[in-house]
Structure 1
């Protein structure tokens, strides 16, 4: 990925709303995680589409980010499933590629 490409440019388009709201509020993943009693790494995974919020967690995150909860539920509720892959295969990230190559 080129250096000027945002890290969330390859995520599903319906998740961009979370990143935009997070940026508007100036919140960290840790601050958001505290609102739902989760770890910041798990919340980051949810933002990147590799984990899925429960309906209750999504309502709390929506409130924290200033998003309409019903809209977030319509877009991010039961209508999609997390992608837990590493991206393209073979991986293009040099570090991940070395791990892939070693296996």
Structure 2
């Protein structure tokens, strides 16, 4: 049987081989784009039917479908500071704006945090005359600290 990590690598290769997009996979399994992408990269467990659908579309076997159903060990970084340029820029955003985000959450909502469990993510490209922009929406449930 494949591990979730091995299955994720198989997905990346199969996407190139088949030409299937993340959006097509999400539509086929009936889940949001960001969730489907994260699941196929090993960060969420898929249901049996979702896993079978994704594996079939990617022309992967039963081992991949089984791996898609495994409970993950969440977290995808191999080092504390990421070296991939795209992931590093997000790390940089948190380094620069993290304290601001924290202050604004506390001022607007009170003493608490944004959930990463009850959470939605959206990534989209927006045309702009000065150069296209990337809009990332992090939408997490507010969880107040309870003392």
User: Is there any run of 5+ residues in structure 1 with no aligned partner, and where?
Assistant: 1-10
Bigger Rg, structure 1 or 2? 2
For 2:39, the equivalent position in structure 1 comes to: 46
8 Å CA contact retained: 1:45, 1:51: yes
Coordinate RMSD, CA, aligned: 2.4
1:30-62 deviation line (CA, Å, top 9, x unaligned) = 011111111111111113222221222100101
For 1:17, the equivalent position in structure 2 comes to: 10
Compute the TM-score of the two structures, normalised by the length of structure 2. Answer: 0.50
Question: Which structure has greater strand proportion?
Answer: 2
| Equivalenced residues, count | 90
Structure number with the bigger relative contact order (C-alpha 8 A, sep ≥ 6) is 1
Compute the TM-score of the two structures, normalised by the length of structure 1. Answer: 0.68
User: Is there any run of 5+ residues in structure 2 with no aligned partner, and where?
Assistant: 100-147
